[in-house]
Amino acid sequence: MIRMYAGRIPDEIIAAVLRQNDIVDVVGKYVHLTKKGRNFVGLCPFHSEKTPSFNVSPEKQIYHCFGCGAGGHVIRFVMNIEGLTFPEAVRSLAEEAGIVWRWGDAALEETPEQRERKAMIAGHELAVKIYHYVLKNTAEGQKAVRYLRGRGFSDKLIDEFEIGYAPRTWDMLARYLAKNGHDPETMEKAGLLARREDGSYTDRFRDRIMFPIHDAAGRPIAFSGRIIDDDGGPKYLNSPETPLFQKSRTLFNLHRAKSAIRKTETAVLFEGFADVIKAWQAGVRNGVAAMGTALTERHARTIRGMAKRVIVCYDGDGAGQSAAQKAIPLLEADGGEVRVALLPEGTDPDEYIAAHGAEAFLSQVIDGAVSVADFRLLMLRRQIPPVGDEGKLRYVQAALRIVAALPTPVERELYVKRLAAECGFSVEALNEQLAGMRRQAQKNGRARDNNQIRWNNVMQGAGGAKSARALLPAYHNAERKLLAAMMEDRELAMHVQEQLGDAFNVEAHAAIAAYLYAFYAKEKEPNPGLFIASLEDERLAALAGQLAFSEDSGIAGDPQVVEDYIREIRKFPKTQAIKQKREEQQQAERIGDVRRAAQIGMEIKSLELELKSL
């Protein structure tokens, strides 16, 4: 096998990781997959789309997205979805499968960046323990405990979420980190410490209740600190952006919630992490929240990749409802169902649970979530009360614009009837107005996809890919077909090596062929997933995955087809040479060089004879 990363990880470890981590199971933790023939399909977690184009093959143990081109084996999937390096992904999957990833006295060789990342996570793990200990076991921490209990946090909840307290002292954490061998400069880069002008280090957080933030794998990567007395500094202070923590992609509580999200196929999106925690105590185990930022397209893709439906449960005040309005298109852009949980005006989930209890929150708010259209009409009623003739006219005009955007005639009919009954207009008049709006929208292009939301709206899948490939030159298609079959058949690969060697016309195809020859020189059995894992170049790995998925690999059983493909590949350089010679001959004739033109003519005849003999 051609080893990746200069042979740092033994081939047998990579093979064991690929063998013992079924790609459908691993991908299924992040993407809702549906069986389709021999494969599974779902919405791609790496780009926005409405039509599922993300395919997973349990037979070949590879994945490929026909929309964005992402593809590869289970290790590459974990690398991309978790933002890990190759060794980190191997280690994570090895530990998940119970594979011993250490050998002899050596562990996986790490780059300086990997060692730094590992040190940052270790620093956060220590900080979580220290802050939690201070909260639970010191006199100073009791003030924080009393505050949390007063807000309805049980001791079990405090322990479960490892809530802590950062004391008033300037360097408590800095001293503990240094005592345990953590480099202060690295800890500053991790967002745990701050550097003074004199070069010394202080704790970034002081006199705050500390809420740990984890990545999707459950590793602590940041904190959010809340002041106890609302008279000193910002209410919440989050860790800065670091190599571990990017607000635009981090969802609070995802590591705890993802199991329930997959099981219920539903995610509940809250506005803040405190709401997630209180809702967890109330029984909502599939709740997540963005961290200190509005919902981003990356957040939405992560959520929709795991859930069929999303319930948006933001605060009942104006700011919360405005944020919900902005979040909805991002969640709808990836398809699926979006509903909105309604809270009394000016109330947040924490306050509602405290006032009405967990059972009412679950039954009235979460289970009572309404459709997006109902939510938008409710918000519209608050802005334009349908009172009096003028108010009703303005309200109906705006409401019909919402109804016009609904995708099905049945939905539009339902809401038209509701508006007619509510405002006293005839159904016929409203339908006439609605039809005019839709005609105008179609004329302006607004009835098509929302171009402000970047989604992949092309009918993708293998059919679309085949149509595109039909436009490729014959030799190009022949090379693709051969390579796909070679990944499935060792004898065919050896035959192609003997007949063609590296004489593929497309440079990337020649490279993949060379790697295949080397792969089979060591491996006796074909294994597309293992082969793709051997490719260090991501571009080649993606192409190999695409070929393994999108090309018909059954040609090995038809020797005549194989020979036809080989002949087509051999013909192309000859035809190109003949074409070039004819251009040279014409140029010689134009300048009157008869002797040179005749000589080139002889060369053309020789090439044509060679072409016929193929």
Q: What is the pLDDT of residues 360-419, one digit of tens each?
A: 999 999 999 999 999 999 999 989 999 888 989 999 999 999 999 888 899 999 999 999
Tokens matching residue 593: 């060089």
Q: 464 to each of 192, 381, 550, how far by Cα in Å?
A: 50, 44, 10
pLDDT category of residue 207 using cuts at 50, 70 and 90: very high
Is pLDDT at 444 greater than 70 in this prediction? yes
Which 3 state secondary structure label does DSSP give 190?
coil
Is pLDDT at 544 greater than 80 in this prediction? yes
DSSP string, 58-114: TTTTEEEETTT--EE-HHHHHHHHHT--HHHHHHHHHHHHT----BTTB-----HHH
Higher pLDDT, residue 176 or 614: 176
Task: Give the helix ranges, DSSP H, for 283-348.
Answer: 297-306, 318-333
Q: Which residues pair with 200 in a beta bridge?
A: none
Separation CA 417–CA 377 (nearest Å): 14
Position 109 scores a pLDDT of 56
Position 449 scores a pLDDT of 39
pLDDT category of residue 110 using cuts at 50, 70 and 90: low
Q: What is the pLDDT of residues 575-600, one digit of tens each?
A: 887 888 788 888 878 888 888 888 88
Domain ranges, ordered by start, for the chain? 5-97, 112-238, 251-376, 472-614
Q: Tell me the average pLDDT across 237-266.
A: 92
Higher pLDDT, residue 342 or 459: 342
Higher pLDDT, residue 592 or 516: 516
Position 604 scores a pLDDT of 81
DSSP string, 229-274: STTSS-SEEEPPP-SS--TTT-EETHHHHHHHHHHHTEEEEESSHH
Q: Could you tell me which CATH number the domain at 112-238 has? A: 3.90.980.10
Higher pLDDT, residue 462 or 175: 175
Is pLDDT at 157 greater than 90 in this prediction? yes
Q: Tell me the average pLDDT across 171-180.
A: 96
Q: Could you tell me which CATH number the domain at 472-614 has? A: 1.10.860.10
Position 68 scores a pLDDT of 84
Position 374 scores a pLDDT of 95
Nearest to 313 by CA among 281, 357, 279: 279
Q: What is the pLDDT of residues 182-200, one digit of tens each?
A: 999 999 999 999 999 999 9
Higher pLDDT, residue 457 or 368: 368
Which amino acid appears at position 82 of this protein? E
Which 3 state secondary structure label does DSSP give 367?
coil
Which residue shows structure tokens 């105590």?
281
Is pLDDT at 612 greater than 80 in this prediction? no
Is pLDDT at 172 greater than 50 in this prediction? yes
Question: In this structure, how many other beta carbons lie within 10 angstroms of the beta carbon of residue 265?
Answer: 14
Output DSSP code: residue 536: -
Position 232 scores a pLDDT of 65
Is pLDDT at 14 greater than 90 in this prediction? no
CATH class in words for 251-376: alpha beta
Position 168 scores a pLDDT of 93
Position 310 scores a pLDDT of 96
Is pLDDT at 537 greater than 50 in this prediction? yes
Nearest to 138 by CA among 176, 165, 174: 165
Q: With pLDDT > 90 as the criterion, what percentage of the chain qualifies?
A: 48
Q: Tell me the average pLDDT across 124-131.
A: 98
Most confident of 7-11, 319-323, 438-442: 319-323
Q: Tell me the average pLDDT across 260-264.
A: 87
Q: With pLDDT > 70 as the criterion, what percentage of the chain qualifies?
A: 91
Separation CA 314–CA 318 (nearest Å): 10
Tokens matching residue 514: 């060379």
Nearest to 293 by CA among 254, 236, 227: 236
pLDDT category of residue 45 using cuts at 50, 70 and 90: confident
CATH fold, domain 5-97, is: DNA Primase; Chain A (3.90.580)
Which amino acid appears at position 85 of this protein? T
Nearest to 411 by CA among 403, 423, 401: 403
Mean pLDDT of the chain: 86
Q: Tell me the average pLDDT across 201-209.
A: 96
Position 231 scores a pLDDT of 67
Q: What is the pLDDT of residues 272-317, one digit of tens each?
A: 999 999 999 999 999 999 987 889 988 888 888 788 899 999 999 9
Is pLDDT at 212 greater than 90 in this prediction? yes
Position 554 scores a pLDDT of 63
Higher pLDDT, residue 61 or 609: 61
pLDDT category of residue 445 using cuts at 50, 70 and 90: low
Position 111 scores a pLDDT of 66
Is pLDDT at 66 greater than 50 in this prediction? yes
Is pLDDT at 106 greater than 50 in this prediction? no
Which residue shows structure tokens 């939905």?
411
Position 229 scores a pLDDT of 82
Position 13 scores a pLDDT of 84
Residues with Cβ within 8 Å of residue 33, at least 6 apart in sequence: 24, 27, 40, 41, 42, 56
| pTM beyond 0.75, yes or no | no
Q: What is the pLDDT of residues 138-154, one digit of tens each?
A: 999 999 999 999 999 99
Q: What is the pLDDT of residues 469-510, one digit of tens each?
A: 446 788 898 999 999 999 988 999 999 999 999 889 889 999
Separation CA 252–CA 288 (nearest Å): 5
Q: Tell me the average pLDDT across 229-247.
A: 87
Task: Find the Cα–Cα–Cα–Cα dihedral 95, 98, 102, 103, rounded to 10°.
Answer: -160
Position 326 scores a pLDDT of 93
